[in-house]
Structure 1
Amino acid sequence: MRVLIAPDGFGGTLTARQAAEAIRAGWSEAAPGDDLRTCPLADGGPGFLDTLRADLGGDLLAVTVRSPLGALTPAAVLVVEADDATRTAYVESAHATGLTLVPREQRDPTRTSSAGVGELVRAAVATGARRVVVGLGGSATNDAGAGMLAALGVGGPGSPLMRGGGALSAVEPHDLAGLRAVREELRGVELLAACDVDVPLLGLHGASAGFAAQKGATPEQAQDLERALGHFAHAAVAALGDAVRPDLLQPRAATSAAARLTSLPGAGAAGGLGFGLALLGARLVPGSALVADAVHLAHRIADVDLVVTGEGTFDWQSLHGKVVAAVAERALDVAVPAVVIAGQVELGRREWGAAGVAGAYAVAQSPAEVEASMADPAGMLRRRAARVAQTWSR
C-alpha cells in the first residue's frame, strides 16, 4: 500500500518534518510492507520557509529584525530564481511576530507590534525580487499590520502605529501619512500574502474575536481590539483615498472600500497582517494552497492509495485554509482517502466528513494523555500512527 504522509507542524511541539517522521516511524512499525512517502507542509505560519526551501531550493539571506516586543531577533529571506530568471523572495512573518518570541507572562496583543514584518518586507524587496511572498500565521500580534506599515515608512517618529493594536483606537488619517507613497513604491513588485486562515479582519471569526485570546488577551481586551481595528481600518482607507478603487454603487465610497478590504478572506490572518498587506496592494491567497502547489501535492496524492495529514489541533480553524483542508480537498479530487492524526480533535464526524476527511484520530483524548503528549510529542504521535495504520493498512 502506498501512503503519503503530509502533515503540518504540531503547534510548537513538532515541526512538520518531525511530525512526518514520527508518523512514518509509527506506521512502519504496524505496516512494514507499506510504501511510505513524506511531504511536510505549511500554511504560511511557522515552518513556511523550511518547507518551501526543501522543495524549491534557493538561498537564505540572514537578517535581523524587531520582535513583537521590540527586541532584535534573527530572521531570514528565502530567495529563489526561476528558470526564466524571475526572482521570488519568501519571508515568514512568524520570524518577526511569532508567538514563541514572546514569553508567556509577557503576551499582550494590545501592545505587541508587527514592525519586524515591515523590516522583512524591506529586506525582501532589496534582493531585487519581482515577486515577494509573505507567509502569515502563528503571530503574537493583533495590530492589523500597523507596525509593519510604520517600519516601511508610514507615519513619523513616535507614530502610534508602532504601539500595538490597543493604540489604534486613537489613530487618525494624518497618522498614516506616507501610506500612498509606500504603496506606490511597491507597485513594481508582485506582493502576495500567503494566509494561514481565510478569516476576515473583523467579526466573530476575525483577528480579535477569533484569535486574540490565544495570544494572551482577556475577553475585554479582545473587544477593545475589535473596536480599535475597525477604527484603524476606516482611518487607513481614508488616508489612501482614491488609491483604493471605490465601489461606485455605494453612496459612501470610503465606507464601502473599508468594508471590502476588512472582509477579504485572509484579512484577519496573523492578527490582521493580511489587511495591512492588502492596504499595500497585496493579493491575499491561501498559504496552504500556495505551498501545496509549490510541492506538487496534487500529483503526489494521485500516485498513492492513502494520504495521512495532521496538525496540533483539528478544530474550526482547520477548515478555513489550513493544511488539513488543502490536503483533503486535493485527495477528494482524485478519490484518495485522507485521514487526519491530530494532537486533539475538536470537530465532529459531520464537520470533518463534509470537508472530505475519511477519518480523524486524536493523539490525546484525556488530560493524562495531553500531559504525556506534551512531554513526549513525537513518541505519542508515533504510537497513535501505529494504531491508525492497523485500521487503514491492507
Structure 2
Amino acid sequence: MHVLIAPDCFTGTLTAAQAARAIADGWRRGAPHDDLTLVPLADGGTGFIDVLRAGLDGEEHLVTVTDPLGRPVPAPLLVTRDDGRTTVWIESAQAIGLHLLAAGERNPDVTSSAGLGDLLLAALDLSPSRIVVGLGGSATNDGGAGLLARLGAGADARLTGGGAGLLNLPDDALPGLRQVRERFSGIDLVIASDVDNPLLGLQGASATFAAQKGASPQQAQDLERALGAWHDRVSKALPPPTDLMTGRARRYDREPGAGAAGGVGYALMVIGGRLRSGVDLVIDVLGVASAAAAADLVVTGEGSFDWQSLHGKVVAGVAQACLEVGTPCIVLAGRVELGRRQAQNLGLSGMYAVAETPEQVEASLADPVATLTTRAARIAGTWSPRP
C-alpha cells in the first residue's frame, strides 16, 4: 500500500517535518511493507517557509529584522523563479511570531508588526513580481501599523509602539501611505492566511485572538477601540476605492482575513494585497492533490483537531483534496475534540488521538515523538492489509 503522510505542525511540540517523520517511523513499524511519501504542510503560519523550502527549488536569503518587541532576530526569505517570474515567500511568524516571546513578554498593547515591514523591504530589494506573505501565529494586535510605518507610511512613534498607542493617533499620522501603496502597485501581493476574521467586531482580531497573545478581557476591549480608531486614520489617509459590483467604497476592515495576524491582513489589503487560503496555496504549489491521487491512503495531522480545524487549516485542506481525487484520508492528532459526524462532513475516513486522558496528555508533552510514533504504529496495523 502507498501512504501519503501530510501533517501540519503539532503546535508547541513538533514541526510539520518532525511530525511527518514520527508518523512515518511508526507506520514502518506497524506496516513495514508499505511505501511512504512524506509531504509536511503549513497553512501560512509557523513552518510556512520550512515546508516550502523542502518542496520547492528556491534560494534562501537570511536577513535581520526586529521581533515584536524591537529586538534583532534572523528571518529567512525564500526566492523562487519560474518562467522569468520571481516570487519571494515570507513567513510573518519569523518576525512577529508569538513563539519569539517568553510567556511573560506577551502583551499586544506593546508588540509591533514593524519586523514584518523589515521583511517586506528586504523582499522589495529582490525586484519580485510576486510576494507571498504567510500570516499566522503572530504576537501582535496593531492592525499592521508597525509594518506600514516601516514601509514609509508615517514616522509617528506610536505606529510602531503596539496596538494600545493607535487610539490617539493624529489624523495626519500616515502622510506616506499612498506612496507605499503605489510602490506595491506592480507586484502581486498575496496574503496567505489561515483565518477569515474581519478586523473589528465580535469575530474580529481583538475579540478572537488577543487573549491568546496575552491580553486581558479589558485589554481586548481597549484594543478593539484602538483598531477602530486606526481604521479611521487609514481611511482618511487613503480613501478606499469604489467596489465596482456595489458602487460603494470598499470596506477593508470588513474583508475576510483582515483580522489575520492581529490586523496585518488589513494593512496588506490596504496596500493592494489579495487574500488566498494559505493551506490551499501550499497544497497547490507542493502538488498534494497529485500525490494524494497516487496514494492508497493519506494521513494528515495536527496538534489539536478541534473547531478551528474546520476553517482554513491543513486537515480541512488535505481532506478536501482527497475528496476530489477519491483517496481515503485519516487524521492523527495530539487531541481530538470533534465528533465523528464533523469528521465525516470533512470527508475524513477516521480520526485518532495520541492522547485521550490527562496522563496520556502529560506523556505526550513529555515525549511527543515517541508517543506519536507509537500511535502511528497501531493505526498502521489497522489500515494496512497484510502482504
What are the residue-to-residue correspondences of 1:180-199 with 2, within 5 Å?
Answer: 180-199=178-197
- Report the equivalent of 1:108: 107
Aligned partner of 1:257: which letter? R
Q: Does 1:63 align with 2:56?
A: no
SS state at 1:108 partner: coil
Percentage identity across paired residues of the two chains: 55
- Asked whether the 8 Å contact 1:166–1:228 carries over to 2, the reply is yes
State the alpha-carbon separation in 2 of the partners of residues 32 and 317 from structure 1.
Answer: 34
Q: Does 1:162 align with 2:155?
A: no
Q: 1:6 to 1:114 in 2, by over 3 A?
A: same
Tell me the alpha carbon deviations over residues 21-59 of structure 1, each in whole angstroms, 9 at most, x when there is no partner: 000111111111111111111111111111111121211
State the alpha-carbon separation in 2 of the partners of residues 305 and 62 from structure 1.
Answer: 39
- Asked whether the 8 Å contact 1:201–1:263 carries over to 2, the reply is yes
Alignment partner of 2:324 out of 313, 319, 333: 333
Moved more, 16-25 or 32-41: 32-41
State the alpha-carbon separation in 1 of the partners of residues 384 and 196 from structure 2.
Answer: 34
Q: Does 1:300 align with 2:299?
A: no
SS state at 2:64 partner: strand
Structure 1 residue 249: Cα displacement = 5.0
Q: 1:199 to 1:249 in 2, by over 3 A?
A: closer
Aligned partner of 1:133: which letter? V
- Report the equivalent of 1:240: 238
The TM-score, its normalising length taken from structure 2, stands at: 0.95
Tell me the alpha carbon deviations over residues 78-112 of structure 1, each in whole angstroms, 9 at most, x when there is no partner: 11111x12111111111101111111011011210
- Asked whether the 8 Å contact 1:91–1:135 carries over to 2, the reply is yes
Q: 1:310 to 1:233 in 2, by over 3 A?
A: same
- Report the equivalent of 1:178: 176
Q: 1:31 to 1:111 in 2, by over 3 A?
A: same
- Report the equivalent of 1:230: 228
Q: Does 1:382 align with 2:373?
A: yes
The TM-score, its normalising length taken from structure 1, stands at: 0.94
Q: Does 1:257 align with 2:237?
A: no
- Asked whether the 8 Å contact 2:336–2:352 carries over to 1, the reply is yes
SS state at 2:12 partner: coil
Q: Which runs of 5+ in 1 are unaligned?
A: none
- Asked whether the 8 Å contact 1:237–1:257 carries over to 2, the reply is no
- Asked whether the 8 Å contact 2:22–2:372 carries over to 1, the reply is yes
- Asked whether the 8 Å contact 2:156–2:173 carries over to 1, the reply is no
Aligned pair count? Answer: 385
- Report the equivalent of 2:141: 142
- Asked whether the 8 Å contact 1:112–1:141 carries over to 2, the reply is yes
State the alpha-carbon separation in 2 of the partners of residues 173 and 279 from structure 1.
Answer: 17
Tell me the alpha carbon deviations over residues 286-329 of structure 1, each in whole angstroms, 9 at most, x when there is no partner: 11111111111100000111111011111222121111111010
- Report the equivalent of 1:213: 211
State the alpha-carbon separation in 1 of the partners of residues 171 and 352 from structure 2.
Answer: 50
Q: 1:157 to 1:222 in 2, by over 3 A?
A: closer
Q: Which runs of 5+ in 2 are unaligned?
A: none
- Report the equivalent of 2:49: 49
State the alpha-carbon separation in 2 of the partners of residues 249 and 235 from structure 1.
Answer: 24
Q: 1:174 to 1:352 in 2, by over 3 A?
A: farther
Structure 1 residue 333: Cα displacement = 0.9
SS state at 1:241 partner: coil
State the alpha-carbon separation in 2 of the partners of residues 129 and 119 from structure 1.
Answer: 16
Q: Does 1:128 align with 2:121?
A: no
State the alpha-carbon separation in 2 of the partners of residues 11 and 333 from structure 1.
Answer: 28
Q: Does 1:40 align with 2:40?
A: yes
Q: Does 1:96 align with 2:87?
A: no
- Asked whether the 8 Å contact 1:197–1:317 carries over to 2, the reply is no
State the alpha-carbon separation in 2 of the partners of residues 120 and 303 from structure 1.
Answer: 37
Q: 1:350 to 1:167 in 2, by over 3 A?
A: farther
Aligned partner of 1:334: which letter? V
Q: 1:369 to 1:205 in 2, by over 3 A?
A: farther
- Report the equivalent of 1:117: 116
- Asked whether the 8 Å contact 1:246–1:257 carries over to 2, the reply is yes
Tell me the alpha carbon deviations over residues 62-85 of structure 1, each in whole angstroms, 9 at most, x when there is no partner: 110010001000011111111x12
